[in-house]
Structure 1
Amino acid sequence: MTEAEQGQATDIVPEADARRIQDGRHPDPFSILGPHKRGRATYVTAFDPGAVRMAAVIGNKEHPLERVTDGVGVFTGKVPGGKPYHLRGYGADDKAWDYEDAYRFGPVIGEQDEYYLGEGTHQRIWQVLGAHVREHEGCEGTHFAVWAPNAQRVSVVGGFNHWDGRRHVMRKRGMTGVWEIFVPGIVEGEVYKYEIVGPDGALQPLKADPVGFGSQHPPENSSVVRDIRGYGWRDDDWMSTREDRNARTAPISVYEVHLGSWRRRWNEGGRPLSYKEAAAELIDYVHDMGFTHIELLPISEHPFDGSWGYQPVGLFAPTIRHGPPHEFRDLVEAAHEKNIGVLLDWVPGHFPTDAHGLATFDGTHLYEHQDPREGFHQDWNTLIYNFGRTEVRNFLVSNALYWLEEYHVDGLRVDAVASMLYRDYSRKEGEWVPNVHGGRENYEAIEMLQKVNTVVYGEEEGVMTVAEESTSFPGVSQPVDNGGLGFGYKWNMGWMNDTLDYIKRDPLYRQHHHHQMTFGIHYAFSENFILPISHDEVVHGKGSMLQRMPGDGWERFANLRAYYGFMFGHPGKKLLFMGCEFAQPAEWNHSAELDWAVLERPEHAGIQRLVRDLNTVYRQYRALHAKDCEPEGFQWVEANDSAHSVYAWLRRGGKDDAEAMVVCNFTPVERSGYRIGLPHTGRWREVMNTDAAIYGGGDRGNMGGIDAEEVGSQGQPASALVTIPPLSTLVFVRET
């Protein structure tokens, strides 16, 4: 470059600015790079550290750009104004490369979005933040936007720019804390991260996109551009009836699934099923078994298989372990075609400390509390969201809505709610910070959960939210305007703990613990409960459900069959973890598949058939589900016969629905001629007998039904003599 040319270039771009751009330290590269007016002339300035010389190309004509100063890859030059151009760089070998200039494009985020982002109330942040494939100002590319309010610089980096954070420094949008850039030519499948310089000038570890729609296969952890537009849903029939299917009066029986270990392809290296394969195999199985819903353990992107998804990094990305986003939609749509609802486990309570994740995202404690007494989970070595920060709360609320809107998911089961509600959860004295009133309740988390439920129920008709809440926190499933948390349902952890503790005991000693099975009725209608036999009950040395059963041989299977019958006859919606439906022999192993081979054994196939038939009976008779959450649907007939370990109760639906009688015998002794009180005389058909031979039992019972006579018993005007097989549950329905 001649001295005159260099002087002219530095008149347009000061050398100090050029060097700051070269060093990645310029606070606003958009003020220098791209096209800019100078008087009546237009100048284009470009940065390309790999170029020896550069030109702006308009049509077929090159307009040379001069290097601003020696050793700096900033070039500038005059071009005809108002015309689109692209850049051409030349290397030392005089080979050329052409590309669009990201700095010639204006902002994408509009004023209204900017306002709500700045306010922290944008309910659909995924429509603005993240990586969006789109056309902008006549050019195809990808718009990147990320919230990093305390950063000095944010750049998008990837193979497209040699992972060089100087090349695509983003534009900061005023006081919103959001940075954005449109990069032409970036298409679906491109790998990227954000390079962030913190407020102290320190370069942070490369960060995955908090609102990214895709990720690499672990252990690689970059974000991946995914175009989530234009799926073309065909589930209108399901969506129009979903509200009725999720209602308190509906039969709800949930099959809980860890997609990575339900089935595997051992002839292909032991890989898990893809979403598309699960759309056929899993959905067909769930439909055949009669479950009304499936619940997937978290499928948000997570770095470590052993977390089962409960330590997510990419809250907006369906894990690539099973396929890209549209293929997850295939799974949801396949479920809806078979009239099966899809619930997702959702984890807003904590996130992992992985360097590429949310931890100290912009060089500050942006998403998490700074004080470890509030911001660090000792049980899981994870970080806790700062629920009191408006933008963080909005991030979580928006994410909940995202899964419901974009993927037509029918509900969210919120993990570890108890850990969010209490500031002293799993902490010793002095290890936690009281609330403003000196108490242990986490007001900010409570407000966030209420906001989630208010928004999702208000925006998405017919969805359900479910709380895994292990304490007696009041009003979990009560409406927010009544002071509740606003969930649709709550897992009944007390029922699960009491009944599993009872059923594991030798029948000889059950008489001394009789009311562990009755105690749940005292609070059964205080919430809208789901009875959960979940993944947590078959891991960490607890053994499988079958291993929990006492005795050996037939007794273990009979105990399990009787317990499942008890569960399906008890008030409350139902949930069963995969493998429990056929008495998996060993406890769950997330790195293998279920032990499907045991279905060749009659006793395991019998349990599977029992669960299928329990689902059928539960769905068929309204008395067994219509008032699952109302005290009018339940009445004890025999609750105190501890000597015989016998229980009997009535279930009722609407006034026109036939009542059902459930009778359980939890001893290995047959009870013949046992008188059971009934509200009506006449024929009561035996619709379920867990001792039936088709389930692996001894085929003892009542020859298909009982006849109630006008002999009062147990407070009922009629009664019948019943044969209750050993270790069994019977269900009778009145013939009308």
Structure 2
Amino acid sequence: MTELKDRERQAAPTTADLPPADTEALARGRHPDPFAVLGLHAQGDGYVLRVYAPGAQAVEVLERDSGRWRGELTERSIPGLFVIALDEAFPYRLRLHWPDGVHETEDPYAFGLLLGDIDLHLIGEGTHRDLGRCLGAQRLEIDGVAGVRFAVWAPNARRVSVIGAFNGWDGRRHPMRLRHQAGVWELFVPCLQPGERYKYELVDANEQVVHKADPVALASEMPPGTASKVADIEGFAWHDEAWLARRADTLAPDRPISIYEVHAASWRKHGGNEGELYSWQELAEQLIPYVLEMGFTHVELLPIMEHPFGGSWGYQPLGLFAPTARHGSPADFACFVDACHQAGLGVILDWVPAHFPTDAHGLARFDGTALYEYAHPFEGFHQDWNTYIYNFGRREVHGFLLSSALHWLKHFHVDALRVDAVASMIYRNYSRRDGEWIPNRHGGHENLEALDFLRHLNRVVAEEVPGTAVIAEESTAWPGVTQPVSEGGLGFAYKWNLGWMHDTLSYIVEDPIHRSYHHHNMTFPQVYAYSERFVLPISHDEVVHGKRALLDKMPGDEWQKFANLRAYLATQWTQPGKKLLFMGCEFGQWREWDHDRELDWELLDEPRHAGVRLLVGDLNRIYRELPALHQGDCDPSGFVWVIGNDHTNSVFAWLRCDTAGEPLLVIANMTPVPRENYRVGIPQSGEWEEIFNSDAECYGGSNMGNLGRLEAVDEPRHGQPASLALTLPPLAVILLRPR
């Protein structure tokens, strides 16, 4: 009888109806402050509970702890708005009756403010260093209730809601609260589980309703789907403590660094070119042993941040905090990095803070304004790539990008980031005609805001994640890219030496009969070889878009093409600078790289291709084992020209020396003509041994050489006190050292 009277009393009319303006705003999905009207509120001597659940047939309220039924809400004013008057406040749950079933849950509007004042202050200031654990979808408990806290920066939006299958993708169901001081919207949605898909529905500054993926999502659904996902990455057990303790040494300027550049989606595929992509687990099982067998010290992945278009190779990302779903979950990617580290292999990620694509679900005009990008197209639009340019001068954008970089280095234990397209960031007139760019405040073409960001990035990385590195792909002669910030530089650890790549490739593609006229292209790189700490790259950019595969660039018949390739790779490995080689080049793939096809692994059944792979493995071994080849990579004292002016014969010779002064002689004969009794100056007489010959039969060569050992005599030559009479194989590089 008592329960029946309770039901009758709670179902009776109340005075809790909202003003028409509020009910209309709720119905239209335009209410500016849903927490002011929904949930439990004091009213008169009691309380009123309002729930807006469009489509629900009935709503009941229960005590959270005991489950005791406390009343049924009455639908009032507009369809979906349920109201009940209560005598007292208590922790409660809701039982909602839908056409397809009954659902019990907590009320999102029963929870107070979520983000702390410090978080909001740091977000607004652009100095929050862990947005991946602050904004986005965070699994947590509040008052003993498990759920997901959503938070998104959209200061100019009129309304933001979380939408997903859990609310029928209905933006009226879960409107968020605006924290005005930071322009951040927040909401706690109870009971959501990992894997739940979601987006944000915004009524933007132009009163348009738009659906956006989460800029700080930790996971996304499989493209072409564009929804974000609640991630489950907590509690991952790392096993790479030993690697982390010594990784700073692995990235030091006097250590061997040899990088295998990989596009994870096309290295291998299941069942060939039409098959599915490898998962992170499968890449760990097959890629890691392969890279170690080849002797590389690091693997560099083309951007694995979530990106909508696979044909961008990841260089147009929209998920700067989420590994692409193409290969598995965030935890799967963490497992891959952990496996690399346990195997003694470093991991470098390409990272793209220069620009982002214009996809409607992404960052573009996120809240109806140019929020992440510069507003003016002369500043904010890349004509070459049809992408938007980040507004580096906006504090929140600066902090967003900084936090993304730290996210990969700290939470995924990545060892280094290679920053793509730095030149496009630091020049306001990059790839623009006169009259199509806006000068800086001093009238110059430098992007001062981007320069400030890059310097700040490198300072913060050094502070927050010591032992890691940031590498620049910077294609101009901007001074001091790897100079410390304290000395006026940009503070990068290394810079890709694109000048070396251009000069040496322009030489090697010439027919040997013409190389005498291009001799300077091989010697000139030593003029600037120590202006920065350099990586010598033969990257993916050199084997696409009609540039032809590295092997196919080489002149001559098939034998000469292979010989030229072997000589070129041997030159790269024996000149100062860290090494980078794109996948497929290590065994001489004939065709250009195609991101939709796996590498032509069947070529390894052919001896000459297998020979190139063996050569690269031996070059890596020699590079690691001989200090002369790596200790002086960034020090001019480690390199001496012996022969740099033999244009007629296209012969080059140089010495590499370690810190103890032990010499290593490198001689390159860049013609198909063998040279007998070719005398080369050396620093000491006595017995020398030939330790490497790119013309060896095992590599596919003619096996011409010096039979292992030679006797040097005290006959000065080329400014050296002694000399050797050598046989120089055709289109080959040989290495000799004193016994």
Give the TM bin, normalised by the shorter chain.
over 0.9
**Given the alignment, which residue of 46, 49, 52 partners 1:47?**
52
Instruction: Indicate the SS of the match to 2:85.
Output: strand
1:121 maps onto 2:127 in alignment: yes
**Given the alignment, which residue of 323, 330, 333 partners 1:325?**
330
Which residue of structure 2 aligns with residue 702 of structure 1?
A: 706
**Given the alignment, which residue of 419, 433, 441 partners 2:438?**
433
C-alpha contact 1:423 1:441 (8 A) present in aligned 2: yes
**Given the alignment, which residue of 697, 718, 722 partners 2:722?**
718
**Given the alignment, which residue of 303, 312, 336 partners 2:341?**
336
Instruction: Write the mapping of 1:299-448 to structure 2, written as runs, cut at 5 A.
Output: 299-448=304-453
CA deviation after TM superposition for structure 1 residue 63, in Å: 2.7
1:481 maps onto 2:486 in alignment: yes
C-alpha contact 1:9 1:68 (8 A) present in aligned 2: no
CA deviation after TM superposition for structure 1 residue 38, in Å: 2.6
C-alpha contact 1:152 1:199 (8 A) present in aligned 2: yes
CA deviation after TM superposition for structure 1 residue 99, in Å: 2.1
1:261 maps onto 2:296 in alignment: no
CA deviation after TM superposition for structure 1 residue 65, in Å: 4.4
C-alpha contact 2:10 2:71 (8 A) present in aligned 1: no
Instruction: Write the mapping of 1:238-277 to structure 2, written as runs, cut at 5 A.
Output: 238-266=243-271, 269-277=274-282
1:558 maps onto 2:563 in alignment: yes
1:101 maps onto 2:90 in alignment: no
Instruction: Indicate the SS of the match to 1:440.
Output: coil
1:659 maps onto 2:666 in alignment: no
CA deviation after TM superposition for structure 1 residue 51, in Å: 2.3
Which residue of structure 1 aligns with residue 169 of structure 2?
A: 163
C-alpha contact 2:316 2:357 (8 A) present in aligned 1: yes
**Given the alignment, which residue of 64, 67, 74 partners 2:74?**
67
* C-alpha separation in 1, matches of 2:629 and 2:10: 88
Structure 1 residues 57-104: Cα deviation after superposition (integer angstroms, max 9, x where no partner): 1134333344363433212223464532111223579x6432221111
Instruction: Indicate the SS of the match to 1:644.
Output: coil
**Given the alignment, which residue of 596, 602, 619 partners 2:624?**
619
Cα RMSD between the aligned structures? 1.8
Instruction: Write the mapping of 1:453-492 to structure 2, written as runs, cut at 5 A.
Output: 453-492=458-497
* C-alpha separation in 1, matches of 2:490 and 2:362: 29
Structure 1 residues 112-140: Cα deviation after superposition (integer angstroms, max 9, x where no partner): 21221122211111110011111121111
**Given the alignment, which residue of 201, 208, 232 partners 1:202?**
208
Change (3 A) 1:180 1:723: same
Instruction: Indicate the SS of the match to 1:471.
Output: coil
Which residue of structure 1 aligns with residue 229 of structure 2?
A: 224
1:727 maps onto 2:731 in alignment: yes
Structure 2: gaps (5+ residues): 1-8
* C-alpha separation in 1, matches of 2:389 and 2:452: 15
Change (3 A) 1:662 1:10: farther
Which residue of structure 1 aligns with residue 504 of structure 2?
A: 499
C-alpha contact 1:151 1:199 (8 A) present in aligned 2: yes
* C-alpha separation in 2, matches of 1:199 and 1:419: 30
Structure 1: gaps (5+ residues): none
**Given the alignment, which residue of 110, 113, 117 partners 1:111?**
117
* C-alpha separation in 2, matches of 1:91 and 1:323: 34
CA deviation after TM superposition for structure 1 residue 230, in Å: 1.2
1:573 maps onto 2:542 in alignment: no
C-alpha contact 2:16 2:83 (8 A) present in aligned 1: no
> What letter corresponds to residue 31 of structure 2 in structure 1?
H
C-alpha contact 2:120 2:181 (8 A) present in aligned 1: no
Greater shift after overlay, 69-78 or 521-530?
69-78
TM-score, normalization: structure 2? 0.96
CA deviation after TM superposition for structure 1 residue 718, in Å: 1.2
CA deviation after TM superposition for structure 1 residue 26, in Å: 1.1
CA deviation after TM superposition for structure 1 residue 577, in Å: 0.2
Structure 1 residues 371-409: Cα deviation after superposition (integer angstroms, max 9, x where no partner): 100000000000000011011011001100100001100
> What letter corresponds to residue 167 of structure 2 in structure 1?
N
> What letter corresponds to residue 184 of structure 1 in structure 2?
P
C-alpha contact 2:311 2:595 (8 A) present in aligned 1: yes
Which residue of structure 2 aligns with residue 178 of structure 1?
A: 184
* C-alpha separation in 2, matches of 1:255 and 1:483: 32
In the comparison of the two structures, how many residue pairs are matched? 731
* C-alpha separation in 2, matches of 1:97 and 1:339: 50
Change (3 A) 1:554 1:585: same
CA deviation after TM superposition for structure 1 residue 39, in Å: 4.5
CA deviation after TM superposition for structure 1 residue 171, in Å: 1.1
Instruction: Indicate the SS of the match to 2:519.
Output: helix
Structure 1 residues 289-314: Cα deviation after superposition (integer angstroms, max 9, x where no partner): 00000100000000111100000011
1:670 maps onto 2:674 in alignment: yes
Which residue of structure 2 aligns with residue 582 of structure 1?
A: 587
C-alpha contact 2:690 2:736 (8 A) present in aligned 1: yes
Change (3 A) 1:96 1:608: closer
Greater shift after overlay, 57-66 or 564-573?
57-66
Identity level (%): 53
C-alpha contact 1:609 1:695 (8 A) present in aligned 2: yes
